[in-house]
Amino acid sequence: MYAIVEIAGQQFKVSKDLKVYVNRLTNEEGSKVSFDKVLLLDDNGTITLGAPAIEGASVEAKVLQHLKGDKVIVFKKKRRKGYKKRNGHRQYLTQIVIEGITGVGAKKAAPKKAAVEATTEEVEAPKKKVAKAKKEDTKE
């Protein structure tokens, strides 16, 4: 099982127990992080494609360490002008390990019943008021 997921603005093909270097995340070392922007999911030959992301799918990961990447030398030159600039750069990275991929059919934590009932009552109440107002307008 593998997935293509967007992490910190870049797309990665990930599978369980894979270590990945991504752009620096704000999470602390040892903490768990979840990525909900899953673009493609392959479950033993069954491919699910998102438009643009698959709803309900997520990738769970653990932050291993924060580090800096290899140095990259940036050298600029204009010939015959005596212009030379040398600059270096090291990218800030985070190493994560993928702990699991949750597909579409998997159940997430269900919302509490009290919260669901309250939202349905709030939605239905304005409809009743509108219906009463329409009946009064037709009587006149």
Count Cβ atoms below 10 Å from residue 100 Cβ, excluding itself: 13
Domain encompassing residue 50: 2-102
In-domain check, residue 107: no
In-domain check, residue 140: no
Q: How many domains does one find in the chain?
A: 1
In-domain check, residue 49: yes
Structure-token match 């990961």, residue found? 61
Averaged pLDDT, 29-44 = 94
In-domain check, residue 82: yes
- Residue 104's pLDDT is 73
State the DSSP string of 84-128.
Answer: EEEEEEEEEEEEEEEEEEE-SSS--PPPPHHHHHHHHHHHHHHHH
In-domain check, residue 117: no
Report which of 61, 7, 62 is spatially closest to residue 30, judged by C-alpha positions: 62
DSSP tag of 24:
P
74-119 pLDDT tens trace? 999 999 999 999 999 999 999 999 999 998 755 555 555 555 555 5
Retrieve residue 93's tokens.
């990275």
In-domain check, residue 112: no
Report yes or no: 37 and 3 within 8 Å, Cβ to Cβ: no
Does the pLDDT value for residue 132 go beyond 80?
Answer: no
Residues 6+ apart with CB under 8 A from 32: 60, 61, 62, 63, 99
In-domain check, residue 8: yes
**3 state DSSP class of 133:** helix
pTM exceeds 0.85, yes or no = no
Retrieve residue 18's tokens.
């894979």
In-domain check, residue 138: no
